[in-house]
């Protein structure tokens, strides 16, 4: 059984979706970011940078932090969505999400959604970068069905929850035909629908 220490964020949703996709038994241990529970000494023991998500695999006692590392671990453990023959491509698109797509869209959230009007430079900079991300993903998805090729993988699972925040971005997902097709294709997967609402709050996936 997998214990998922998490909050309701795109990075948290990556792991709940993956666990639903591979049909593993798991339980959610909530970490309330608004109450700074991520800074509790007990949580820091399993998360050196005070970040969610973290998993504990109760089958073997292993603890894994960082969402990309968790997806790789679960992909290896389950043998799903991390095809060995296409691993180099999957790793590239997964690392692109971890190092670029997520952090930049996250900064866009901070300036545009949470703190509008406080820094024109920040709002303009991260809006421009976020729009470039949409363009780049749309171009890639004009060339292949999924990010790492023709098969759904952990690279898609990592990236999709960030695009699911498209209504925060004010870029207009519907203006990007290939990205929209990919987004809706994944949105219709039963495991994604269930994993998106892993906190059981009745959340529905936002349409373009």
pLDDT at 95 (0 to 100): 98
Q: Does residue 206 belong to any structural domain of this protein? A: no
Q: What CATH code is carried by the domain that includes residue 166?
A: 1.20.1050.10
Give yes or no: residues 95 and 168 share one domain.
Answer: yes
pLDDT at position 21 is 98
Residue 205 within a domain: no
Average pLDDT over the chain, rounded to whole?
97
Helix/strand/coil percent split, the chain, to 5: 60, 10, 30
Q: How many domains does the chain have?
A: 2
Q: Model pTM?
A: 0.96
Asked if 185 and 91 sit in the same domain, the reply is yes
Beta strands in 48-202 (DSSP E): 54-57, 62-65
Do 54 and 71 have their domain in common?
yes
**pLDDT of amino acid 79:** 97
Domain that holds residue 173: 84-189
CA–CA gap between residue 41 and residue 173 (Å, rounded): 40
- Determine the average pLDDT of the residues in 28-53: 96
- For residue 182, the model assigns a pLDDT of 98
Q: Do residues 122 and 161 share a domain? A: yes
Q: Are residues 68 and 108 in the same domain?
A: no
Residue 49 sits in the same domain as residue 120: no
Confidence of residue 33 (pLDDT cuts 50, 70, 90): very high
């Amino acid at each position: 059984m997998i214990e998922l220490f998490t909050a309701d964020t795109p990075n948290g949703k990556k792991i709940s979706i993956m666990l639903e996709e591979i049909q593993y038994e798991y339980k959610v241990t909530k970490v309330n970011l608004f109450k700074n529970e991520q800074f509790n000494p007990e949580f820091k023991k399993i998360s050196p940078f005070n970040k969610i998500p973290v998993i504990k695999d109760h089958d073997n006692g292993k603890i894994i932090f960082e969402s990309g590392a968790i997806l790789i671990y679960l992909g290896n453990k389950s043998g799903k969505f991390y095809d060995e023959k296409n691993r180099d491509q999957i790793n590239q698109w997964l690392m692109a999400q971890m190092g670029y797509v997520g952090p930049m869209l996250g900064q866009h959230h901070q300036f545009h959604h949470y703190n509008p009007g406080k820094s024109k430079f920040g709002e303009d900079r991260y809006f421009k970068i976020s729009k470039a991300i949409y363009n780049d993903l749309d171009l890639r998805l004009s060339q292949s069905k999924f990010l790492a090729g023709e098969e759904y993988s952990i690279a898609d699972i990592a990236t999709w929850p960030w695009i699911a925040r498209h209504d925060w971005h004010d870029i207009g997902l519907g203006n990007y035909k290939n990205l929209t097709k990919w987004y809706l294709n994944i949105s219709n997967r039963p495991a994604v629908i269930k994993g998106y609402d892993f906190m059981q709050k009745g959340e529905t996936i936002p349409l373009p």
